[in-house]
Amino acid sequence: MPRAHDDARRYLAAETGTIRKDAPFRVALVYPSPYRAAMASLGYQTIYRQLNGVPGVAADRAVLPDDAAVALPPLLTFEREAPVGDYRLIAFSVAFELEIAGMIRCLELAGLAPLAADRRESDPIVVAGGPLTFSNPAPLAPFVDLVVMGEAEETVLELVRTCEELGDKRTVLEALAGKPGFYLPAQDGDRVPPVAAADDALLPARSQIVTPHSELSSMFLTEAARGCSRGCTYCVMRRSTNGGMRVIEPDLIVGGVPETARRVGLVGAAVTDHPRIAEVVRRLVDSGREIGISSLRADRLDDELVGLLARGGYRTLTTAMDGASQRLRDHVERKTRERDLLKTAELARRHGLKTVKYYLMVGVPTETDDDIDELARFTKELRQVHPRIRFGVAPFVAKRNTPLDGEPFAGIDVVERRLDRLRRALRGSAVVNPTSARWAWVEYMLAQGDASAGRAVLDAHRAGGRFADYRKAFAAHGCRPTGPRARVPSTSELIALRRQQRQAV
C-alpha cells in the first residue's frame, strides 16, 4: 500500500465527525493542498456536510498527498478508498493561486488529463470553487469544465442536482451555461461572471470534522461574521457579496458549538468588528473552552476583549499592521493608527501575553526605503511597551477586483533588499519572518493573469515546479499581467530600473 494511502488511514482514524454515507450519486471533494490545510478550511468542510445532507447524494474527501511529488496513483477518497477518477463529479476547493499546481497533481494522480480539452466526454465533470473565485479564477480555466463562483452553498446544490438529473457532461454544461454563479471557460472565454451570494439563512458555516492533524489542531471552527465592511484597497473581501459584513447572532454562534468542543475558532474577515464579539468570547471562555479568532483588528481591541483572550488560552496577540508606515496605511485605506498598534502591545503586556505579532506587507505601491526606516523607528516604541515583538512580512500582491488591481509587483530584488534593510535595522530587537519574494512574484503573475498563466503552471509543474521553471514557463506563454493599470515596460525602462536597483543595493 503506498504511503499516501497509509497517511489517509491514519488521519481518518483520528477524526471525529466523519460522514460515511451510501448514495446513488457520489461527489469527490478534492482539496489541492495537504490534509493539514484541508481540514482547516471551513468552506471545504461546509460543502462536505451540506452535500452529505442531500437525499441521494454523498460526498467523499480527497486531498493532495503529503508526499505529492513521489505519490503514486490512484488518488483515493478517504471515506471509501475509491479512486477519485471513478466519480462522476470531481469538485476542487481552491483557496489561492499557488494551489493550482496541487490541483494539476491531483488530476494526474486521479488518472485524468490535467487539461480539460484533453479529457474524454466519458471522463468525470471537473469543477472548481473556493476563495480564489472572488479574485481571479481565469488561470483555472484550462483545467476545469466549470467554475462555481463565490459563495457556493446554493449553487453547488444546483450543480449536483443538474448532474444527477442529466448525467451526460455535455448536457449538464449546456444546462448551466449562462446561469448566475457559473463560469464555463469553454463558452464564456474571458467573460467571468459575478460571484454568487448565499442566503443569510444558511449562515454560519461550521466545522464538520475535528482532528488533531489540522493546522488548527483539534479546533472547532464557526463563523462569527461573513464579509467585511471596511474599505482596504488591497483586499478582495471588500468585494463582499452583499456589500458589507453579515453579522451572526451570538446565540446562533455559541449554540452551534458542540459540548465536546474544547477549542473554538471564530472565523471571518473581520471578526472583531462584530458589535457583540466580547459577549461571544465571554460565553465561550466561561464554558471552559479555549478560543481563537482569525482576524484581530488593532482598533477594536480593548481591555475586556484581550483579557478574555488571555483567559481563553492566548499567548501571542496577533494583528495586522499592513503598511510599514502610517503613510502607507493611509494610502491603502487601512484605518489602523500607530496609537492602535501601541495599545495592542500595551494590552498584551498587561494581560501577560508573551509575544505581540504584527503582519505587514512590503512592496506596497509608493513605498520607499523611508517607510521601512519609519517601521524600524516605530518598533523601538513598541519595544518600550512590550519586550517581544515579531513581524510576519509578505510581499504585496495586487489582486483582481480590488482598487489596487493592476498595480505592478515591486520586484523581487526590491522586496528582498527592503527585507534585508528591515532585518538589519531590527537585529536584536525584533524577529522578522518573511515569505518568499520569488513565490510572491509567481502568485502575482497568476493573480493578474489569464488562462495562459494557468497553462504556464502546467508546464512549470511538469518541468519540476522550481521557481526557474515558472519564470521560464511564463515567458514561453507570453504571460503578462492583465489588470486595468498593468503595462508591459519597454526594454529601455527595464534596463534603467535594473540599473537603479543595483545602485541602490
Does residue 234 belong to any structural domain of this protein? yes
Cis, peptide link before residue 489, omega less than 30° from 0: no
Q: Looking at the structure, do residues 246 and 392 belong to the same domain, yes or no?
A: yes
Kind plus residue range of the DSSP H or E element containing 431: strand 431-434
State how far the Cα of 285 lies from the Cα of 277, in Å rounded to an integer.
Answer: 12
The CATH number of the domain holding residue 348 is: 3.20.20.70
Pick the last residue of a domain from 418, 444, 470. 444
Which residues have a Cβ under 8 Å from the Cβ of 180 and sit 6 or more positions away?
155, 193, 194, 196
Q: Which of 188, 210, 236 is the last residue of a domain?
A: 188
Domain count, the chain: 2
Q: Where are the alpha helices (DSSP H) in 183-299?
A: 185-188, 250-255, 277-286
How far apart CA 281 and CA 293 sit, in angstroms, is: 9
What pLDDT is stored for residue 195 in this prediction? 86
Question: d(Cα 325, Cα 306) in Å, to the nearest integer?
Answer: 25
Q: What share of the chain is helix, strand, coil (3-state, %, to 5)?
A: 45, 15, 40
State whether 427 and 395 are in the same domain.
Answer: yes
In Å, how far from its chain's centre is CA 398? 15
Same domain for 143 and 230? no
pLDDT for 229: 82
Question: Which domain, by its residues, includes 23?
Answer: 3-188
Q: Specify whether 136 is located in the same domain as 105.
A: yes
Query: In this predicted structure, what is the pLDDT of residue 336?
Result: 92
CA 116 vs CA 61, 126, 184, 288: distances in Å: 21, 8, 11, 50
**For residue 149, is it within any domain?**
yes
- 59 with 115, same domain? yes
Answer yes or no: is 482 within a domain. no
In the prediction, which pLDDT does 5 show?
79
Q: What's residue 227's pLDDT?
A: 87
pLDDT tens-digit readout, 123-168? 999 999 999 999 999 999 999 999 999 999 999 999 999 999 998 9
Q: Is residue 25 part of a domain?
A: yes
State the DSSP string of 53-70: TSTTEEEEEEE--TTTTT
- Residue 98, in any domain of the structure: yes
**Grid cell 496605511 — which residue?**
329
Note whether 320 and 368 are within 8 A (CB): no
The answer to whether 287 and 255 have CB atoms below 8 angstroms apart is no
**Strand pairing of 89-93 and 125-129?**
parallel
Confidence at residue 484, expressed as pLDDT on a 0 to 100 scale: 55
Please tell me whether residues 353 and 216 are part of one structural domain. yes
pLDDT of residue 498: 41
Would residue 500 count as lying in a domain? Answer: no
Q: 174 and 258 share a domain?
A: no
Which residue, 161, 188, 215, sits at the end of a domain?
A: 188
Report cis status (omega within 30 of 0) of the bond before 204: yes
Exposure of 345 in the CB half-sphere (CA atoms within 13 A)? 21
pLDDT at 501: 40
Task: Report the C-alpha gap between 146 and 172 in whole angstroms.
Answer: 10
Same structural domain for residues 329 and 405? Answer: yes
Q: Does one domain contain both 262 and 138? A: no
Are 205 and 247 part of one and the same domain?
A: yes
Handedness of CA 88, 91, 97, 102 (dihedral sign): negative
Q: Is residue 471 part of a domain?
A: no
CA angle 405–46–198, rounded 5-degree value: 55
- Which ranges of 312-393 does DSSP label H, i.e. alpha helix? 326-331, 338-350, 369-385
Any idea what the Cα angle at residue 500 is, between residues 498 and 501, rounded to 5°?
65
Q: Which residues, at least 6 apart from 4, have a Cβ–Cβ distance to it below 8 Å?
A: 65, 66, 67, 71, 72, 75
Closest CA to 146 of 126, 119, 168, 167: 126
The whole-angstrom separation of Cα 165 and Cα 398 is: 41
467 part of a folded domain? no
**Residue 74 grid cell:** 490512484
Strand partners, 457: none
Using CA atoms, how far apart are residues 340 and 337, in angstroms rounded to an integer?
A: 5
Query: How far apart, in Å, are the Cα atoms of 434 and each of 99, 259, 264, 358?
Result: 20, 39, 28, 12
343/392 same-domain check: yes
Q: What is the DSSP string of 50-117?
A: HHHTSTTEEEEEEE--TTTTT--SPPB-TTT--BGGGSSEEEEE--SGGGHHHHHHHHHHTT--SSGG
Q: Measure the CA angle with vertex 12, ends 11 and 14; round to 5°.
A: 70
What residue ranges of the chain have pLDDT lower than 50?
Answer: 1, 239, 486-505
Q: Which amino acid is at 252?
A: L
Per-residue model confidence (pLDDT) at position 199: 87
**Helix H or strand E segment including 390:** strand 389-395
CATH number, position 163: 3.40.50.280
Same domain, 170 and 208: no
Residue 41: helix, strand or coil by DSSP?
Answer: coil
